[in-house]
Structure 1
């Protein structure tokens, strides 16, 4: 399996799931997933699905005005000449099926209610981006770590595909990564992307980088 491609396609499905809860399910073809109107905060207007996508054609699919963003999944586009600037770079990651073993710290628990999702989203920092309709999507599991007083101290999202499970929106301390591996479906590879200290934490939990990505923003 090409882990880079698997991570890219899983992430596009996740972006589509989030945007669908905002009335924008998006469109997918061999080149990209995209939405014609501005995506919710923190989410791209397009995600490339292969190398060598035509930049002009890609931008014609989206609202190509200030605030537009593109996830350049293979870090091979030059959008600077179209008025974009790099927002951040990261690494796609994967973890083969493996027993994560026992670990310290509280377990991650699925979020099952709209109120619980609202508290999770507030702790995450993205607020209204995450809507209750996400909880009805059978592919999506929102996980929370709770303190003894019931407050949310960390969490993540799992997105189940045919051959891999995606990991995204991980927040909290480094113990979240081993806990996340224990909470994921057994025997299924995990994919996602991270950068900086989060990439280092994921690597210590058994994830491996598979290739770079770049997110472009039009100021």
Structure 2
């Protein structure tokens, strides 16, 4: 399942890059981008535990500031290459056979379809930071494997939670989950209920750390192996 989750996450990173006019490359052991990726997104993602340093470092731009590598299997040591670990996290997996969580009745989860709704979603996700909100470009609305989910109130006028869903052949990836009420368990319940409704019978994967990981586990997600994100220093 970790290999499927890593591939799914790399496909989401690739979709985000395409929305910014950046072309990534899927190799045998890693996905890489020769151009600097959008903020918060890695320049390389390992796809196999057999990946070694050269599989990621030879395909990325190490000269420009902000170069980063997502080591999906926690196997690489890039310290000697001028990187340091900035994130230690765990993969998560929720089997499709588990009962669907009960979604909070006061929040309606639905796909974002319009430019205006995406702008509201991005503003809520970023906490009002306009520069960061601009990461989610309208090109994502046309990506068939990507769905931005919004949790709304007031008849859809106010976005209070959300997530990005990335669809692969065998798994559904959930990332960028957020909420404005500081209750991520509610957000996970609403998101997972929406995923079960829209893509029934599909297992859910993703990765989290800290309190966000605890919230996902509370809603039936099983923590898996470790992953690391390395940043050039």
* Partner SS, residue 13 of structure 1: helix
CA displacement at 1:139 relative to structure 2: 1.1
CA displacement at 1:159 relative to structure 2: 1.1
CA displacement at 1:200 relative to structure 2: 0.4
Note the residue ranges of structure 2 that are not aligned, 5 or more in a row.
127-131
C-alpha contact 1:33 1:47 (8 A) present in aligned 2: yes
Q: Which 10-residue stretch deviates more, 29-38 or 142-151?
A: 142-151
1:178 aligns with 2:189: yes
Distance 1:93 1:101 in 2: 16
CA displacement at 1:25 relative to structure 2: 2.7
CA displacement at 1:101 relative to structure 2: 4.4
1:79 aligns with 2:90: no
1:25 aligns with 2:23: yes
C-alpha contact 1:52 1:77 (8 A) present in aligned 2: no
Aligned residue number for residue 129 of structure 2 = none
Note the residue ranges of structure 1 that are not aligned, 5 or more in a row.
none
Provide, for residues 86-138 of structure 1, a one-character-per-residue CA deviation record: whole Å limited to 9, x for no partner: 11111011100133143324121111111211111121113111111111111
Aligned residue number for residue 115 of structure 1 = 116
C-alpha contact 1:120 1:144 (8 A) present in aligned 2: yes
Aligned residue number for residue 43 of structure 1 = 41
Distance 2:104 2:55 in 1: 49
Aligned residue number for residue 154 of structure 1 = 161
* Partner SS, residue 108 of structure 1: strand
Deviating 4+ runs (over 4 angstroms): none
Q: Could you tell me which of 187, 204, 209 is aligned with 2:218?
A: 204
Q: Alpha carbon RMSD of aligned pairs, Å?
A: 1.3
Distance 2:101 2:73 in 1: 33
Q: How many residues align?
A: 217
Aligned residue number for residue 91 of structure 2 = 92
CA displacement at 1:54 relative to structure 2: 2.2
C-alpha contact 2:101 2:190 (8 A) present in aligned 1: no
CA displacement at 1:145 relative to structure 2: 1.2
